[in-house]
A = this chain, B = another copy of it.
Amino acid sequence: MAHAEVEYRRGEYRKSAARREQILDAAFAVFSESGYTASSVNEIARRVGLSQTGVLHHFAGGKTALLQAVLDRRDQLAEDILADRHGIDFLRALSEITRTQLDKRGMIQAYRMLSTEAVNPDHPAHAHFHDRQRRVLHGLERAFREAMDDGDAPLDLDPHAAALSCMAMTEGLEVLWLNGFTVDMVGDSRRHLQQFLTTGL
| Residue ID in chain B nearest A109 by CB atoms | B119
Q: Which one of B116, B167, B168, B169 contacts A116 once the chains associate, using CB atoms below 8 Å?
A: B116
Q: Which one of B115, B117, B137, B183 contacts A164 once the chains associate, using CB atoms below 8 Å?
A: B183
Task: Determine if A176 is an interface residue (Cβ-Cβ < 8 Å).
Answer: yes
Task: Determine if A100 is an interface residue (Cβ-Cβ < 8 Å).
Answer: no
Extra 14 A-B pairs, beta carbons < 8 Å, given A116-B178, A168-B173: A35-B37, A35-B38, A35-B117, A37-B38, A38-B38, A113-B117, A119-B178, A133-B179, A133-B181, A164-B181, A168-B183, A168-B188, A169-B169, A171-B176
Q: What are 7 A-B contacts defined by CB distance under 8 Å? A: A35-B113, A38-B38, A115-B179, A133-B176, A164-B181, A164-B183, A172-B175
Q: Is the Cβ of A172 less than 8 Å from the Cβ of B168?
A: yes
Q: How many residues of A contact B (CB 8 A)?
A: 33
Residues from chain B with Cβ under 8 Å of A116 in the complex: 109, 112-113, 116, 178
| Residue ID in chain B nearest A132 by CB atoms | B179
Q: Is the Cβ of A137 less than 8 Å from the Cβ of B181?
A: yes
Residues from chain B with Cβ under 8 Å of A120 in the complex: 109
Residues from chain B with Cβ under 8 Å of A178 in the complex: 116, 119
Distance of A176 Cα from B187 Cα, bound (Å): 21
